[in-house]
A and B are shown apart, each in its own frame.
Chain A
Amino acid sequence: DSGVTQTPKHLITATGQRVTLRCSPRSGDLSVYWYQQSLDQGLQFLIQYYNGEERAKGNILERFSAQQFPDLHSELNLSSLELGDSALYFCASSELAGAGEQYFGPGTRLTVT
């Protein structure tokens, strides 16, 4: 158990809908990262927040957004969902902002029908 929690574990929704995925980092970690894992694209970095502020962006679509709250939990919002958005979404956390150890949560499996 990494200490990173994610909810929900599974999510099934229809095309065009909007969903919110939630992540709580390990105690003491200030950085939260979001990743998408799919069969065709592999594991891809989406976005990073550090102590409430956006720090880095990866391959995140404009339909996706995230935020980190004062209690350091983070939410990933996915809107106008398409079939291709079906994937595993992982949250990871680390103590610092720079390149270093990231600990992954168990993931949320999103299925768009």
Chain B
Amino acid sequence: QQQVKQSPQSLIVQKGGISIINCAYENTAFDYFPWYQQFPGKGPALLIAIRPDVSEKKEGRFTISFNKSAKQFSLHIMDSQPGDSATYFCAASGWSGGGADGLTFGKGTHLIIQP
């Protein structure tokens, strides 16, 4: 059972455009939702994260939008640059009663920013 569904699988955006990646979760016990960026041969790097008590969080060109009732959250990359070309993962974790603090990841989105 895939608990975090991510779309699209791949995305091509023109330089300067807005990149949008969406995720949906099933487990209502999740209460922490980070986004990670991964370049080939590197470990995932934490980009931005949100908790369910806010609907939006912005850090520089990166914004997370969160819809608790729909159990969905998304990453927006404004003014996308070629250096943003990478694989992006959404994730979720929370106190499920079993002490499961490990992150549950989406399958990833391969983002290409065309110059």
Interface residues of A, Cβ cutoff 8 Å to B = 2, 4, 31, 33, 35, 42-48, 55-56, 58, 90, 92, 97-107
Contacts and interface: CB of A to CB of B under 8 A. Distances in A.
Nearest to A43: B105
A65 to B, nearest CB: 16
Give chain B's interface secondary structure class. loop
B32 A100 contact: yes
Interface residues of B, number: 26
B12 interface: no
Contacts, number: 66
B75 to A, nearest CB: 16
Could you tell me the dominant secondary structure of chain A's interface residues? strand
A44 to B, nearest CB: 8
B49 A101 contact: yes
